Structure 1
Amino acid sequence: MQFVEEIVVDEFLPTVRSLLASNLRDRGLTQSEVADVLGISQSAVSKYAHGDVTINDRIADDDRVRTLVEELGRGLSAGDISPVQALIELEVLVRDLESGGDLLAQLHEEAVPELAEHGSGFRVHDPESERRASERVLSSVRKGLSVLETTSGFAALIPAVGSNLVACTPDAEDVDDVAGVPGRIFDVKGRATVPGAPEFGVSEHVARVLLAARRHGSAASAAVNIRYEPELVDELVELGHVAAEFDESGDVSSSVGAAIEDESDATVLYQTGGMGIEPLIYVLGPDAQSVANTIRSCT
């Protein structure tokens, strides 16, 4: 009897640690620094560095594993990613690789062939679950925030009310299904400041705009708000986006819905303000990282 968790511990973990240790050493970190970052002993780092630990080539050669190792190595060495954030990203990857038919699921079924012969009503590796969907959303927002924090000029696009980068679960119905930044993103002395890690249910305004757009046919799953300038709208349109204006002085859900119904492909929604209402642009996209990249491209 072997559980998939044993595959993770015996195959995935040593392989990823070895790849990360090598990546960090190549970036100039000492064995002691690598040990601190990975939470392991220096002797373990030495074993990884000298190839004294058996790795799984199928895991090591997986493009998703190699891409994430490269991202984490870069972020950990620069201090842009904390060890806890790296752990969360790896947890998300593990769950993806455990899903039906994917790499860890294949390794598990090869180790326990009887699983494939089990009754059709039983699924060991559930490809989708609410928890997994939520983790993907949070991971997307974290990656998007990393892009925005390192985007030169983003702080200048933050409106007086602050910005928020949000993303929702596939079946989102209300703000509790939308993850965002608690307290919003503000410009502090010319620098975009994110006050905390993304959470669900902490964005009221941007979440409502995203949900309203989705209810009226938008395929977007993420959004960010920035200050309004006609030139910014024009620039986004030049980048290939479809823009639509809405009136925020009335019911936001109805106004956004009407804008989407008029321009079903709209990925830029804007309102030009009014009495006590700051003019804003909302950029929509398939995920938080894509939205953040859109902002980067127009700064």
Structure 2
Amino acid sequence: MSLVLPSELVADRVVPTLRAMLARRLHERGATQQAIAGHLGVSQAAVSNYLGGFDGEPLVAEHPDAQATVDRIARGLDDGDLDGYDALAELIGLVRTLEDRGPVCELHEREMPALRGLGCDLCVRGVDSEAERERAVLASVRTAARRLAAGDVASLVPNVGTNVGEALPGAAAATDVAAIPGRIYTMAGRVEVPANPEFGASKHVATAVLAAAAVDPSVRGAVNVATDDALLRRARDRGLRTLAFDADYEERGEHLRERFGEAGVPDVAYHRGAFGVEPVAYVFGESAVDAADRVVALVGGDATE
């Protein structure tokens, strides 16, 4: 029996087909061959070949998940809603779908007929669930940061900067909370996100998220913004719960857990500052995206509760 690895089929047949599909979608949206080559990481000659009639593997090209994902990536790259990292994550997720008893399995059985009828699960056996959870949290924080950048929230960014974080289920330490390294800041009135999220990147947001999750495990996301009376008023008008806490506590995490334990986890927790401490509010949500959407909504953006 010849030994053919599934990864060989992915590299030789699946990836070229997906690149050709993506090249055509981008071309249909008006992208130049040079721009397409930059997105795909291939030469302009390869793009010309993709556009000139390269059909690839029909099992992949005609698969509905492949078509939907390629359309989504092309639209995101063209509109600027996706960066290269996000597009890569989408493609990796798609390949996993195609491997899970999908076209890759059929291709593999063609190359190795002895696999037929065995219910082979070589490609999906032993998926690391912990790694999957970490990827999901990182993706949530990336999306939340983009929504803050697109929303009209620059006026709420404190001098110390804003951050958005999300904790893993059962998080116990700051290293279990993903946030933006270096914090989110403003430049020329625009919100700038300096880097992709990492675990352990923000002690302050992590402290608030961990305190909230310790009392209510469903609350795992938070955004810190400047304490603003208008924002607090709009929050109360919308029926959101606000809670003041003391900025002067050295052990802020313990203080927040105590306050949350007494009154429940609020939608917005805030302090009025102290000597050398800027007034800051934490807007909470079930995820980083929920918290970011709440901030955007409270300043009159398009996101909804």
Structure-1-length-normalised TM-score: 0.80
Q: Give runs of aligned pairs for residues 49-60 of structure 1, distance below 5 A.
A: 49=51, 50=53, 52-56=55-59, 60=63
Secondary structure of 1:162's counterpart equals: coil
Alignment of 1:1-299 (within 5 A): 3-6=5-8, 8-9=10-11, 12-49=14-51, 50=53, 52-56=55-59, 60-62=63-65, 66=68, 68-78=69-79, 81-91=82-92, 93-94=93-94, 98=96, 104-107=99-102, 111=109, 112-113=115-116, 116=119, 124-151=124-151, 153-239=152-238, 241-250=240-249, 251-264=251-264, 266-299=266-299
Output the CA distance in 1 between the equivalents of 2:120 and 2:90.
Answer: 32
In structure 2, give the amino acid aligned to 1:204: K
Query: C-alpha separation between the residues in 2 aligned to 1:149 and 1:160?
Result: 16
Query: Deviation at 1:189?
Result: 2.4
The answer to whether the 8 A contact 2:273-2:279 is kept is yes
TM-aligned CA distance change 1:41 to 1:187, over 3 Å: closer
Structure 1 position 168, deviation (Å):
2.2
Q: Distance in 1 between matches of 2:172 and 2:118?
A: 36
* 1:177 CA drift (Å): 1.5
Is the Cα contact below 8 Å between 1:11 and 1:55 reproduced in 2? no
Q: 1:123 to 1:287 in 2, by over 3 A?
A: same
Q: How many residues align?
A: 287
SS at match of 2:293: helix
Q: Which moved more, 1:202-211 or 1:4-13?
A: 4-13
Mark the CA change 1:237 to 1:295 in structure 2 (over 3 Å): closer, same or farther: same
- Structure 1 stretch displaced more, 212-221 or 243-252: 243-252
Root mean square deviation, CA, Å: 3.1
The answer on whether the counterparts of 1:7 and 1:104 sit within 8 Å (CA) in structure 2 is no
Q: Is the 8 A contact 2:211 2:253 kept in 1?
A: yes
**Residue 225 of structure 1: how far off its partner (Å):** 0.4
Cα deviation, residue 114, structure 1: 5.8
In 1, are the aligned partners of 2:21 and 2:61 still within 8 Å (CA)?
A: no
Alignment partners' CA distance in 2, 1:47 and 1:219: 50
TM-score, with normalisation over the residues of structure 2?
0.79
Give the drift of 1:124: 4.4
Once the two structures are aligned, what percentage of the paired residues are identical? Answer: 33
How many Å separate the matches in 1 of 2:170 and 2:18? 33
Q: CA deviation at 1:15?
A: 4.7
Distance in 1 between the 2:268 and 2:71 partners?
32
Aligned counterparts of 2:58 and 2:123: Cα–Cα separation in 1: 28
Deviation at 1:72, TM superposition (A): 3.1
Unaligned 5+ segments in structure 1 are: none
**SS class of match (2:166):** strand
2:303 maps to: none
- SS of 2:159's partner is coil
SS in 2 for 1:166: strand
**Corresponding letter in the other structure for 2:297:** S
How far 1:266 sits from its partner (Å)?
A: 2.7
Aligned amino acid, residue 208 of structure 2: V
**Residue deviations 1:151-191 (CA, integer Å, cap 9, x gap):** 2x211110111111112222321111112111111122212
Q: Which structure 2 segments of 5+ residues have no match?
A: 110-114, 300-305
Distance in 2 between the 1:131 and 1:137 partners? 10
Q: 1:178 to 1:29 in 2, by over 3 A?
A: same
For the 8 Å contact 1:166–1:207, the answer to whether it is kept is yes
